[in-house]
Amino acid sequence: MSKLILIVGATASGKSQVGVELAKKFNGEIISCDSMQIYEDMDIGTAKVTYEEMQGIPHHLIDVVNPTAEFSVGEYATMADKAISDIISRGKNPIVVGGTGLYVDGILYPMTFGGDKNIEIRNELERQLASYGKEYMHSMLAEIDPIDAQKIHPNNTKRVLRALEIYKTTGVCKSDLQEKTRDLKYEICMIALDVDRKVLYERIDARVDQMFKMGLLDEVKQLLSRGVGFENQSMQAIGYKEFKEYFNGSKTLEETKEIIKQNSRNYAKRQLTWFRKYDFAKWFDSRDVLGMEKEVETFLKGVR
């Protein structure tokens, strides 16, 4: 089984820097595990790692999707597995770095989805979508499969219709049909970064302030001018979606900034809850790079 190193943690916990340091020491290449850094031209609001910050370490799965496109966890997992195989084939160590929990799951575990395609049912669902709209279809899904509905944004009509099609074809909701084996796809060394909550929130607030200084508002304006709308999946991200109310005049720029800070802090809480479910994760103070290096060295040598 191939060995895989993962660096996970909350937003602003220092994952990117740790990943680069470990990649430099252990002949590694980095695979981004961030659901927003996959998008092109969304740099400031995603805190995308810069060329200088990469320090010459190759980074994969950054800037690979147009911001007007829909993109799924399954597509990410396929691309990540391919990148991991490529890195290993060249005698290097793949290091996954990021904080998107569903993407981490997509890398860790094989996932299969039941339900054959049914053209007649799909055509009927598409007619209903055209007649009643995406919110209606999402509410229909929420009634039959609230678990899956929470994972799918109403704008992602492709996934909403697919989930409804599975239910109408099989009589069982997708979240019940979904089988996730607990057998890991790789031999895992997961390092989770622990940061004092007060310090983490201060970092988040400072990062958002810096984003505005760097021109986050202009970045959003440029995206809108290129035809990327708030209805697009990419614009549902924290740091972008909050601008909708600014542009319709219901929030000031300062209010928008504060909402982004609050949403980012709430997201950090959810990330930490997610990563604590992995009983094999090793938690380190984000400053303890030496401790992390020892953990990775032991893992790569196969000493347990």
Which of 142, 162, 179 is at the close of a domain?
Answer: 179
Write the CATH number for 47. 3.40.50.300
19 vs 110: CA distance, rounded Å: 24
286 vs 18: CA distance, rounded Å: 8
18 vs 292: CA distance, rounded Å: 9
Q: Which of 11-15, 25-29, 144-148 has the lowest mean pLDDT?
A: 144-148
| 105-130 average pLDDT score | 78
Which burial class, exposed, middle or buried, applies to 171 when counting CB atoms under 10 A from its CB (0-12, 13-18, 19+)? exposed
Which of 179, 208, 235 is at the close of a domain?
Answer: 179
Only one residue has tokens 């031999």, namely: 187
pTM over 0.85: no
| 107-132 average pLDDT score | 78
58 vs 36: CA distance, rounded Å: 18
* pLDDT exceeds 70 at position 175: no
pLDDT in tens, 226-279: 999 999 989 989 999 999 999 999 999 999 999 999 999 999 999 999 999 999
Domain that holds residue 156: 113-179
Claim to verify: residue 35 and residue 154 sit in the same structural domain: no
Which of 141, 159, 179 is at the close of a domain?
Answer: 179
36 vs 236: CA distance, rounded Å: 10
Sheet of 28-32, strand order: 59-60, 28-32, 93-97, 3-8, 187-194, 282-285
Contacting residues for 72 by C-beta, under 8 A, at least 6 apart? 159
For residue 217, the model assigns a pLDDT of 98
For residue 303, the model assigns a pLDDT of 54
Claim to verify: residue 214 and residue 107 sit in the same structural domain: yes
DSSP category for residue 186:
S
Q: Per-residue confidence at 1, pLDDT binned at 50, 70, 90?
A: confident
| Cβ neighbours around 68 below 10 Å, total | 17
Claim to verify: residue 17 and residue 75 sit in the same structural domain: yes
| 68-73 average pLDDT score | 88
Q: Per-residue confidence at 176, pLDDT binned at 50, 70, 90?
A: low
| 55-82 average pLDDT score | 94
